[in-house]
Amino acid sequence: MLLAAIWGSSFLFTRFAVLDFGPLPTAAVRVAIAAAFLLPLVLLRGHGPALKKNWRRVFLVGLFNSGIPFACFAFALLSITTGLSAILNATVPMFGAIVAWFWLKDRPTGSRVLGLLIGFAGVAMLAWDKATFKPDASGVAPGWAVMACLFACVCYALSASYAKRHLTGLPPLVTAAGSQIGATLGLALPAAWLWPAQAPGSRAWLSLGVVGVLCTGIAYVLYFRLIESAGPARALAVTFVVPVFAVLYGVMFLGEAVTLWMLLCAVVIICGTALSTGLLKIGR
């Protein structure tokens, strides 16, 4: 619950930051702060040699597991609500099941295939209301924002399967810190090119500090501790609780509206995702 509460707040703080920084600089500063927080922990634990030996693979994971997704969600939050983006983020395990099916040959059972169909039906229902590709007041079309969120989820899924195949046995803290360093290096040049002409305000900087240290650095430590103590299947359940907190924060601090249709689609997506990952089973 604590991890879900922390990750749910990342959408709120990213929303505050992106209005001043823009999508790419927001993502770049976030991962840079997380890298600065996590790297000393790696060195203190004596994992420096492991990071040095596996830096290429870990850095690549960081680009797809942090750099690109964070930039995509920052872009999306210019146009759609934090709650909607968090609900779309809940499809990550569903995309993960598909990638594992084709890449790792982890063939799903009948109930998991049904879950995939239900989950994508929920996404289609939710996206239909935002299907317009005409820019709104923010200058970003809601349709492109939804597509950016889904692309980010695909990146998360690809990085998870890559890590399972190529980074198994590596200390989780090394993967966490190295991925943030890799994401920082990957985003540095485009972020510098697109750095805002007007200096960002103190609220934007504070928001990035919180999202970098708390929602990325500390959250990674909590997540990997959870995997160790409760197992990956139970740790995965945090994905379903994150939208609850994100929607709550959006209503409380941004005055965002939550529609009945949005909640219905969220239930469909979460049920489909639970089935597709095997957390929820039908029959034996």
Q: How many CB atoms lie within 10 A of CB 257?
A: 10
What distance, in Å, lies between the first and last C-alpha atoms of the chain? 29
Residue that the structure tokens 């809601």 belong to? 142
Rounded to two decimals, the pTM is: 0.89
Over residues 223-238, mean pLDDT? 68
Given a cut of 90, is residue 126 above it in pLDDT?
A: no
Over residues 247-274, mean pLDDT? 88
What was the pLDDT predicted at 235?
65
Over residues 199-218, mean pLDDT? 95
Arithmetic mean of pLDDT over the chain: 87
d(C-alpha 144, C-alpha 146), whole Å: 5
Backbone angles phi, psi at 150, to 5 degrees: -70, -35
What was the pLDDT predicted at 132?
66
d(C-alpha 229, C-alpha 242), whole Å: 20
SS3 track for the chain: CHHHHHHHHHHHHHHHHHHHHCHHHHHHHHHHHHHHHHHHHHHHCCCHHHHHHCHHHHHHHHHHHHHHHHHHHHHHCCCCCHHHHHHHHCCHHHHHHHHHHHHCCCCCCHHHHHHHHHHHHHHHHHHHCCCCCCCCCCCCCHHHHHHHHHHHHHHHHHHHHHHHHHCCCCCHHHHHHHHHHHHHHHHHHHHHHCCCCCCCCHHHHHHHHHHHHHHHHHHHHHHHHHHHHHCHHHHHCHHHHHHHHHHHHHHHHHCCCCCHHHHHHHHHHHHHHHHHCCCCCCCC
- Give the HSE-up count for residue 85: Cα atoms under 13 Å, Cβ half-sphere: 33
- Residues ≥6 apart with Cβ < 8 Å to 255: none
Predicted confidence (pLDDT) per residue in 182-192, tens digit? 999 999 999 99
Predicted confidence (pLDDT) per residue in 83-117, tens digit? 889 989 888 888 888 888 888 777 777 787 888 88
* Structural Rg of the chain based on CA atoms: 18
Going 180 to 181 to 182 to 186, the CA torsion angle's sign is positive
In percent, how much of the chain has pLDDT > 90?
48
In percent, how much of the chain has pLDDT > 70?
92
Over residues 247-271, mean pLDDT? 89
What was the pLDDT predicted at 169?
83
8 Å CB contact between 92 and 86: no
Given a cut of 60, is residue 18 above it in pLDDT?
A: yes
8 Å CB contact between 70 and 27: yes
Cα 11 from chain centroid?
9
- With cut-offs at 50, 70 and 90, classify the pLDDT of residue 273: confident
Over residues 63-80, mean pLDDT? 94
d(C-alpha 136, C-alpha 125), whole Å: 21
Over residues 271-279, mean pLDDT? 78
What was the pLDDT predicted at 73?
97
Does 85 or 136 have the greater pLDDT score? 85
What was the pLDDT predicted at 140?
73
What was the pLDDT predicted at 233?
55
Predicted confidence (pLDDT) per residue in 145-180, tens digit? 999 999 999 999 898 888 888 888 888 889 899 999
What was the pLDDT predicted at 43?
95
Does 120 or 202 have the greater pLDDT score? 202
